[in-house]
Amino acid sequence: MSIWGSFFGIEDERQWVAELEAEGIKAGIIRDGEPLPEDLDAPLVYQGSHVLPEADHPRGGSVDLAHVAAHVRFWREHPDAPPEQELEFPHEPYLRLSVHEDPRTPYRSVGDATVLLTTGQARRLIAAVAEWLEHTAS
């Protein structure tokens, strides 16, 4: 069982449900709120550095973020503590960032990647994305 809890993803959940069902595994999505199924979309498949991206290019793969919730360390270190003390503990200071490449990607790299970012690295990532968004046409 993973201690990491995913809380954000960019993926088309319909894609992995179809992949599981193709393997004979019954799968489905139980959703309570956002995003709506019609708003789901996977990232664009990377076509190579020589190809300018277009909105109608193939989509696939995923990006997700996860963190270790405060209760994980709290209950491991304080199994007999009263539940109200759990609220005093922050999340762990690491962010798991995972990128999964679509199998149809030409010029595939070695595969999927998962890294752990510190809070400082996460702040740098936020700043870089914010700057890029400021200078990007929507």
The boundaries of the domain holding residue 108 are 5-134
> Rounded to whole angstroms, what are the CA distances from 124 to 71, 79, 115, 127?
27, 36, 15, 5
Specify whether the CB–CB gap between 99 and 63 falls below 8 A: yes
- 10 vs 54, which has greater pLDDT? 54
- 87 vs 84, which has greater pLDDT? 84
What is the signed CA dihedral for 72, 117, 135, 102, rounded to 10 degrees? -90
pLDDT in tens, 68-84: 888 888 888 889 998 88
> Rounded mean pLDDT of 110-138?
91
Residue 120, classified by CB atoms within 10 Å of its CB into exposed (0-12), middle (13-18) or buried (19+), is: exposed
DSSP secondary structure letter of residue 11: S
First-to-last alpha carbon distance for the chain, in angstroms, is 40
Answer yes or no: is pLDDT of 126 > 90: yes
pLDDT in tens, 36-70: 655 668 888 888 889 999 988 988 888 999 998 88
Q: Count up the domains in the chain and report the number.
A: 1
Specify whether the CB–CB gap between 60 and 19 falls below 8 A: no
Verdict on whether the full-model pTM lies above 0.95: no
- 137 vs 72, which has greater pLDDT? 72
